[in-house]
Amino acid sequence: MVKISMKLTGIKELQQAISKREDLTPVKTIVAKHGDKLKAKTISNMNAAYTAGYSTGATALSVTNEIGDGGLSATVAPHSTYFSYLEYGTRFMSARPTLKPAWAYEAVQFVNDLQKLMK
């Protein structure tokens, strides 16, 4: 199975401002909020994209949101063995992306919330 990883990088000023804060509780709240929203958006995308007669909903049910690094990271991931085939397609099946579009939307919202916090 292919391991898919997406990371938000390139925001050095924001990272420095966060690292200078003594109380990281608001940052942890934002991480948890957007982890939950990413999970919900991914599941919503799956419910819209996987509508064929053989769809069972197992991939959507397998999506988890794990909070780590003391509340400073959220890992949202589907755990079905065939998710990468659905997301990227195969030579026999076209791609049905669900996680990547959810990430693209939620990453912007996440950064905006962090920037508001730093003002």
Residue spans per domain, the chain: 23-118
Task: Give the global pTM.
Answer: 0.83
Higher local confidence (pLDDT), 43 or 12: 43
Supply the mean pLDDT for the chain. 87
**What is the C-alpha to C-alpha distance for residues 112 and 89, in angstroms, rounded to an integer?**
32
Among candidates 3, 1, 2, 8, which has minimal Cα distance to 106? 8
What would the pLDDT profile of 22-36 be if each residue is shown by its tens digit? 788 888 999 999 999
- Per the structure block, which two tokens stand in for 69? 């690094």
- Cα gap 55→45, rounded to integer Å: 14
Query: What is the pLDDT, as a whole number, of residue 117?
Result: 81
